[in-house]
Amino acid sequence: MLDLTLAIAHHVLIFALFGVLVVELATVKKGMGQTAITQVAAVDLWYGILAALILAVGLIRAYFSAKGWAYYSHNAFFWAKIGVFLLIGLLSAPPTIFFIKTRRTEAIPADAEISRVRMFLHLEAVLFLLLPGFAAAMARGYGAF
């Protein structure tokens, strides 16, 4: 039952995080005003909360699942999944800093700044797409060492 509950939570949290990313990509546009910045800053708070929960639930699954920690700690796709996820977390820092900074000013952000933030969001989304593949390979024993 614990395994099933954690698996459901894992998937729901992942969908929610990807949803947040899509909302950010849809909102961060050239000419965006103060209302949009306030909205996206609030949504971005959830990005951090969801990412922390995904990491926690994922690690709990890895430790307490039937396969056990020995299975995952000796799997290259498991470490690739964690590595790429952490990289995505790092890439989310510049957009977060931008949201916090521009929320405090009344000025409309420069187009170049918006393009820079969108580049980070796109990179995050593309890297995120690797993760289901890594997860499926890891769950089936590929990449064991």
Q: How far apart are CA 24 and CA 32, in angstroms?
A: 12
How many Cβ atoms sit within 10 Å of the Cβ of residue 133?
12
Q: CB 3 → ligand HEM: shortest distance, Å?
A: 8
C-beta of residue 116 within 8 angstroms of C-beta of residue 145: no
Question: Which of 78/98 has CB closer to ligand HEM?
Answer: 78
- How large is the angle between the packed helices 76-91 and 34-64, nearest 10 degrees? 160
Question: Which of 114/121 has CB closer to ligand HEM?
Answer: 121
- Helix, coil or strand: residue 106: coil
Which residues of this chain interact with ligand HEM, rule CB under 6 A?
10, 14, 54-55, 58-59, 61-62, 65, 67, 72, 81-82, 85, 131-132, 135-136, 139
Q: CB 101 → ligand HEM: shortest distance, Å?
A: 27
Q: CB 6 → ligand HEM: shortest distance, Å?
A: 8
Write the CA distances from 78 to 71, 74, 84, 98, 137, integer angstroms: 9, 8, 10, 31, 9
Question: Which of 19/132 has CB closer to ligand HEM?
Answer: 132
Which residue's CB comes closest to ligand HEM? 58
Q: CB 132 → ligand HEM: shortest distance, Å?
A: 5
Question: Which of 47/85 has CB closer to ligand HEM?
Answer: 85
Tokens, residue 7:
């698996």
Q: Going by C-beta distance under 8 Å and a sequence separation of 6 or more, which residues neighbour residue 30?
A: 111, 114, 115
Question: Which of 57/114 has CB closer to ligand HEM?
Answer: 57
Q: CB 104 → ligand HEM: shortest distance, Å?
A: 31
